[in-house]
Chain A
Amino acid sequence: MAELRKETSQEMGLHDEQLKGRTQKKFFSIDESENLTYFHSFDVDTSKTATIDALDMTPREINREIRELMEKGIGDITVDNPMSRHGVGVGILNRLNLTFSDSLGYFGCGLIDGPNVHIKGRVGWSCAENMMAGTVVIDKNAGSTFGAAIRGGDLVCKGSVGARTGIDQKGGTIIVGGKTGAFSGFMMQRGRMIVLGDAGMNLGDSMYDGTIYVGGEVEELGVDCVQADMTELDVRYLTEKLALYGMKTPRGVEKMQKHVSGKMLWNYANLEPNEKKLIL
């Protein structure tokens, strides 16, 4: 491992790199307000409403308009005609009631921390990626990598979703009303995934932790994903969580299958090639 250059390391774990004589990142300062507050988080009133007609707007214009409305304290925003555009509703870091009257494209509602979002349509790939808190409810289907790397909150799709749902999930809850595709829960690290329909092949492949509940059939379990016994706590949790979103599984939550990590971590116990050489 390369030795850290002591002259560039700073207090509080922050350090800069000098590249071609130019400082790339500002030094930490206790006097800068952005180091003490949650940047771009607004105090909004959910009784104040506004509607945006996004028919002829670019994603950047839509996001900017949402931000400007939040700056004015408006806490209930409806976006009409999002037209399946990508990257809309992203980076919202405060409480907000946000409704999209139709479908979104890729990376919708990513990097959010707090808003309650209702999408009255479908979403493309990577919806709510890296979500920290809040709720996102989708009325129809969703594409692949649904809820990739989410840390918290509830992400709910009432229809079916594509492959690699909850890849790298680090917390929160993902709920799928229909089917989920291959490699769902791949490298899952924490949190819960609830699938009311069938799950595709390699479910929970290489998961470290977390829990995956499946109401339908599982095509095939992935490496290191094992079935576990349902407990009374699981049943109660599922019953109450699904009731929040008016969702049910036809066979009853008691008959759902529970999956967890086998903790063998097959893919991560192997030594790197150069380490193997050292041993040999």
Chain B
Amino acid sequence: MCGIAGIIHKKAGKGVNIGQQMTSMLQALKHRGPDSTGYAMYGKGNGNQILRFKVAEAADLEGSYDIHATIKHRLEIVNSRLTELGVKVVKKESPTEYAHRYEVEFSGDMKKVADFVEDVEGVEILSIGNSLELVKDLGDASVVSNQYGLNDFNGTHGIGHTRMATESDVDIRSAHPYWAYPFSDVAVVHNGQLTNYWTNRRSLERSGHRFSSNCDSELIAVYLADRMSQGDDLETAMKGSIDYLDGVFTYLVATKDQLGMAKDVMAAKPMVVYEGEDMIALASEEVAIRTLFDHRIDTFDPYHGEVKVWQN
């Protein structure tokens, strides 16, 4: 059934420890989806682009004797392709053998970078942005946050997901959030099932969009990217998605300074919202939001077909 959560601080100043807040909410939603956990969190940024990518699946490490050499080889190709395009890597971090975080200086076309890097077999760009840090892996929130050192992440807002795999495999590729390729700093998490996925996917692929998985949720990210590339703002694109997507869904989307929520016309998937003066928190269940407070809070359920967008 999956669990989704989001948080946005209106007065974050130098940033709030949203890593801990998101982990706390996602861990409380573990019963909704134990297969994988993902975060899309937004820091203050330092002007550099942040490139998050993986060169293998977590499960690949157990499946082949030469996987370590393969990973090393793929990483060398990625580095060489970045150099070839004039991308200057100023900082490299490797939370796991297969997942990497590069801070890069580059003022050119990041779509071209993404396409060139993803052309390497087994490589997938998880996100590109000035402030977006997209992390996803197998396991619950405490496992993933410890693995990737997210417990001290300072930022302004974020969205996250605990996945119970129904439509596709248990792997990082099918885990949420999805980056809205090729848009910097746009990510999506979804709870539900989309029944017109293949029809719409084929249509978007004919328009030149790419899908990196077979997970129906990716359709939302690609659709929003498509609409925004045609000039829609986030809220307009999200309102369009209510009719465009068939099935049951509640999804969250984040940009560098916004957090949005949309619910299908049947209101079939849950969402609870806390709207405070300084902070908005959303989750599939109130039990997740409640972990952030030591006092009573007022919450509400959004209505069918409702779209809401908050700005930080």
A interface with B by C-beta (< 8 Å) = 83-86, 102-103, 105-106, 121-122, 124-125, 140-144, 159-164, 179, 181-183, 200-201
Beyond A122-B298, A179-B303, A200-B303, whether A143 also contacts B287 by CB under 8 A is no
B interface with A by C-beta (< 8 Å) = 265-268, 270, 272, 285-287, 289-290, 296-301, 303-304
List 16 additional A-B contacts (Cβ < 8 Å) besides A105-B287, A162-B303, A179-B303: A83-B290, A85-B287, A86-B285, A103-B286, A105-B285, A106-B285, A121-B296, A124-B285, A124-B287, A140-B298, A141-B298, A141-B301, A143-B272, A144-B301, A182-B265, A182-B304
Beyond A105-B287, A181-B267, whether A122 also contacts B299 by CB under 8 A is yes
Q: Are A163 and B285 in contact (CB under 8 A)?
A: no
Docked Cα-Cα span, A182 to B302, in Å, equals: 11
Number of A-B contacts (CB under 8 A): 75
Beyond A106-B285, A182-B303, A200-B303, whether A163 also contacts B298 by CB under 8 A is no
Q: Are A163 and B267 in contact (CB under 8 A)?
A: yes
Q: Are A84 and B300 in contact (CB under 8 A)?
A: no
CB distance from B256 to the nearest CB of A (A): 31
Contacts of A124 in B (CB 8 A): 270, 272, 285-287
Contacts of B286 in A (CB 8 A): 84, 103, 105, 122, 124
Closest 7 CB pairs of A and B: A163-B267, A162-B301, A182-B304, A84-B286, A84-B290, A84-B287, A141-B300
Contacts of A105 in B (CB 8 A): 285-287
The 8 Å CB contact of A183, one of B266, B290, B298, B300, is B266
Q: Are B296 and A163 in contact (CB under 8 A)?
A: no
Docked Cα-Cα span, A214 to B272, in Å, equals: 24
Q: Are A125 and B266 in contact (CB under 8 A)?
A: no
CB distance from B221 to the nearest CB of A (A): 26
Docked Cα-Cα span, A86 to B298, in Å, equals: 17
Contacts of B272 in A (CB 8 A): 124, 143
Docked Cα-Cα span, A191 to B117, in Å, equals: 63
CB distance from A58 to the nearest CB of B (A): 12
CB distance from B264 to the nearest CB of A (A): 10
Docked Cα-Cα span, A183 to B304, in Å, equals: 10
Contacts of A179 in B (CB 8 A): 303
Q: Are B266 and A143 in contact (CB under 8 A)?
A: no
Contacts of B300 in A (CB 8 A): 122, 141, 159-160
CB distance from B291 to the nearest CB of A (A): 8
Q: Are B287 and A163 in contact (CB under 8 A)?
A: no
For B303, the closest partner residue in chain A by CB is A181
Q: Are A83 and B287 in contact (CB under 8 A)?
A: yes
Q: Are B301 and A181 in contact (CB under 8 A)?
A: yes
The 8 Å CB contact of A103, one of B267, B268, B290, B304, is B290
